[in-house]
Amino acid sequence: MKFSHHQHAFSDFHGRSREGLAILDRRGMLKTGLAGVAGLSLPGLLRQRDAIAAQGGSPQRNKSVILLWMAGGPSHIDTWDPKPNRPPENRGPFGVIQTRLPGVLFCEHLPKQAAMLDQISVLRSVDARHSNHEPNMVFQTGHRGAAPRANPKGGQFPAIGSVIAKHRGANQSGMPPYVAFQRSRSHVAYAGDLGQQYDPFIAQKAARLPVYDLVGRNTGKIAGAPLFQLPSGLTQDRIYSRRTLLQDFDRLRSQLDSRGWMDAMDVYQRQAVEMVTGRLAQDAFDIEREPQRSRDRYGKHLWCQQALLARRLVERGATFVTLDLSYHTASGTWDNHGIPGGVYGGISKGLGPLLPLFDHLYTTLLSDLSERQMLDDVLVLAMGEFGRTPQTGTQGSFDGRNHWPVVMSMLMAGGGLRHGQVIGATESDGSQIRERPVTPGDLAATIYRHMDVPLETTYLNDRQRPIHVVQENGQPIRELF
């Protein structure tokens, strides 16, 4: 049988590629649709939940996580840990403002966050040693070894979102559990040793969003994402025909089972098919179904529309959503070195325009979740890979800052945790952790505690050895509980 080479809705899943699922006929497209769109071993998950219910277990709350990933590493001194009394080359070009918490100062470009700090926790003493970007994995996995630049096996550590996808799944069948708005493959952590079925569902393939160029200019184009359109010749009637499905799955069974993509056929297969053909996920990704006043509230910027879609996704059952807040596909828009001729700019030129946008995005998302009575169930994180050097003017720039993995700051809100506090502190120049270090393992343990994933959970690596999902004796951040 010959194949045409025109594009179809599932092209990016490489359904006939031997890199993953591979069958060299049109069944490959069906297989891609069922495995790729589902994004998890749905039948096994549903069976597990039924077993819990049969044993009298209580239903799970619709807990979830939204990660605002500031790809490139935002400067801690120029955001949430300012040093206004230091010399200019240390404190940077921005002024400061008082926050809702007496004595706590923020950068002048974050007034909305400052006004809401009674609902937010600032972590000023996060230990970012060994974290790097491209790929950005240490904090998205909770493992210091997840640094492929330094560790050839760094890519095998599973994302926190993937662990949650495996051990908790989606809050609603018909929704993918782990979703990412991904600007670059190197900005988001994948499932690694857990298996490709727990990789993130790439949201751009399912949503219509404005297209921005590498330096943040709106091109005026809208990316059409007809992921849920079935390939030519594959109709819903065909999918729902049990006889046809049995024939298709019989031919695929050995390949699918050997890759861990789908369990043996049973009544749960019908619900797996709903992931592809049902309306729940399609509606969640359709931003045009959102009331115009809500869309106007978030604004037309690409990142703001992604934040609105993140709220829609967790509202409808996704459990972990990552927003890759970057225009550039390389190290990330928050990588504000200020190198002459570079595309990211320094602190004034590069970071300055990002902060008011992020301030609006972050506070609008929190307010929206709160008004919908969702904030106690949704943990919202904002961070990058590391902080930046205490001294400005690196690499030939006037006000840029280089990488500084010694310490970084981040924000946490929601999740029913105790907020309105600053956790940890740095030295007077922001160069070192002075008190209360927080490790990647602590952060992972905090997220897993919120999501009811047991902290002693392990997975098998490529040598079939058990690896703990919480490393370095990580503990949930006690001040939050």
pLDDT in tens, 269-318: 544 555 556 688 889 999 999 999 999 999 999 999 999 999 999 999 99
Query: pLDDT higher for 398 or 363?
Result: 363
- pLDDT, tens digit (0-9, with 9 covering 90-100), for 357-372: 999 999 999 999 999 9
Rounded CA Rg of the chain: 23
At residue 6 the predicted structure's pLDDT band, cuts being 50, 70 and 90, is very low
Q: How far apart are the C-alpha atoms of 77 and 300, rounded to whole Å?
A: 29
Q: How far apart are the C-alpha atoms of 161 and 319, rounded to whole Å?
A: 8
Judge whether 18 lies within some domain: no
Nearest in space to 178 (alpha carbons), one of 158, 196, 199:
199
Judge whether 99 lies within some domain: yes
Q: Does residue 259 register a pLDDT over 50?
A: no
Judge whether 314 lies within some domain: yes
This prediction has a pTM of 0.83
Q: Does residue 119 register a pLDDT over 50?
A: yes
How do beta strands 320-324 and 64-69 pair? parallel
Q: How far apart are the C-alpha atoms of 311 and 316, rounded to whole Å?
A: 9
At residue 48 the predicted structure's pLDDT band, cuts being 50, 70 and 90, is low
Judge whether 321 lies within some domain: yes
At residue 396 the predicted structure's pLDDT band, cuts being 50, 70 and 90, is confident
Average pLDDT of the segment spanning 58-71: 87
Q: Which domain holds residue 82?
A: 63-185+202-224+280-480
Looking at residue 244, its pLDDT comes to: 54
Looking at residue 13, its pLDDT comes to: 37
The CATH number of whichever domain residue 109 belongs to comes to 3.40.720
Looking at residue 414, its pLDDT comes to: 98
Termini Cα distance of the chain:
60
Burial of 104 (0-12, 13-18, 19+ CB in 10 A): middle
Q: Which residue has the tokens 């490790």?
A: 439
Judge whether 425 lies within some domain: yes
Nearest in space to 396 (alpha carbons), one of 442, 337, 437:
337
The four Cα atoms 469, 475, 479, 480 give a dihedral, to 10 degrees, of: 20
At residue 335 the predicted structure's pLDDT band, cuts being 50, 70 and 90, is very high
Share of the chain above pLDDT 90, in %: 67
Looking at residue 263, its pLDDT comes to: 43
Average pLDDT across the chain, whole number: 84
CB 269 within 8 A of CB 43: yes
Nearest in space to 414 (alpha carbons), one of 458, 385, 466, 451:
451
**What are the residues whose beta carbons fall under 8 Å from the beta carbon of 334, sequence distance 6 or more?**
70, 71, 72, 73, 74, 325, 326, 344, 351, 354, 384
Q: How far apart are the C-alpha atoms of 316 and 175, rounded to whole Å?
A: 7
Tokens matching residue 447:
């997220």
Q: How far apart are the C-alpha atoms of 361 and 68, rounded to whole Å?
A: 10
Judge whether 258 lies within some domain: no
Judge whether 17 lies within some domain: no
Judge whether 241 lies within some domain: no
Peptide linkage before 135 cis (omega within 30 of 0) = yes
Domain count, the chain: 1
Tokens matching residue 389:
């050097």
Judged by average pLDDT, the poorest of 38-52, 179-193, 387-401, 461-475 is 38-52
Tokens matching residue 24:
């060299």
Looking at residue 341, its pLDDT comes to: 81
